[in-house]
Amino acid sequence: MFAWLVIREDNTDVLAAAIAKAWSGGDAVIARLAFPARKAPRQIAVVWPDRARAKRTPRWPDVLDDWKDIYEEALFPNAEIPVLAEELSGLGAPTLCAHAGPGLVAGTVGWYEQGALIGYEHVGGASVSWDPESGLGRPFDGTAASIAALGGKRVAKLFGSDRDIDVLERVELANRAVGNVLLTRAFYRILGMDPPEIDDLAGLVAKAETVRVRC
């Protein structure tokens, strides 16, 4: 369905430099979205590759690499988004990697700071979480309470805590797929407000004007 890199608009000044370090060939496609809010619009930039290729492989924690081999489950659908996240966050832009599979049954969320992964959540054929404080987490049952227990202190400090929001419960009560729960929670954090439905968000990105950066 999608595989995106997402940053807040106020961090886009380092985007071109990070793209040059991370990708070659093809283009980086950038869509900018603004969401009305009480004080000021919440603005994000959404980035994905068009025929661009990563210049290297992503640097995953060893325990996640081992988990991937055991469960034969990809940590992210491509190398380009995680590599760009490492370069962007290394230049001072806290970064979200977000993937949604068909029907939102599968989903992946990765948070990056200072050039490294600081939080990871994945649901699909197998499920896992990871953060530097807790290490590798056990697959969870997909309820709102179990997903809310993931997340890590560094992610909450950097992007905001979600302990006071009720989007998880609302999504669960609506009987949505678990991947949708992960992604709704992630976009609440990056926006600091309730996000659109994930299907609607994907539609907004698809319709947004884009800028292409040659890699």
Per-residue pLDDT of the chain (215 residues; tens, 9 = 90+): 999 999 999 999 999 999 999 999 999 999 999 999 988 999 999 999 999 999 999 999 999 999 999 999 999 999 999 999 999 999 999 999 999 998 888 899 999 999 999 999 998 888 899 989 889 985 444 444 444 444 444 445 545 544 444 444 444 434 346 788 889 989 999 999 999 999 999 999 999 999 999 99
pLDDT of 177: 61
Instruction: Collapse the DSSP code of 132 into the 3-class scheme (helix H, G, I; strand E, B; otherwise coil) and give the result.
Output: coil
Judge contact between 162 and 188, C-beta under 8 A: yes
pLDDT of 138: 56
The residue to which tokens 């992610």 are assigned: 155
For the beta carbon of residue 162, count every other beta carbon within 10 angstroms.
19
Judge contact between 64 and 136, C-beta under 8 A: yes
Judge contact between 29 and 210, C-beta under 8 A: yes
DSSP 182: H
pLDDT of 157: 52
pLDDT of 167: 45
Residue-by-residue DSSP string for 70-90: HHT--SSS-SHHHHHHHHHHH
pLDDT of 134: 85
For the beta carbon of residue 14, count every other beta carbon within 10 angstroms.
16
pLDDT of 65: 96
- Structure-token pair, residue 100: 């949604």
- Structure-token pair, residue 209: 């004007």
**Single pTM value for the model:** 0.85
pLDDT of 178: 77
Judge contact between 215 and 23, C-beta under 8 A: yes
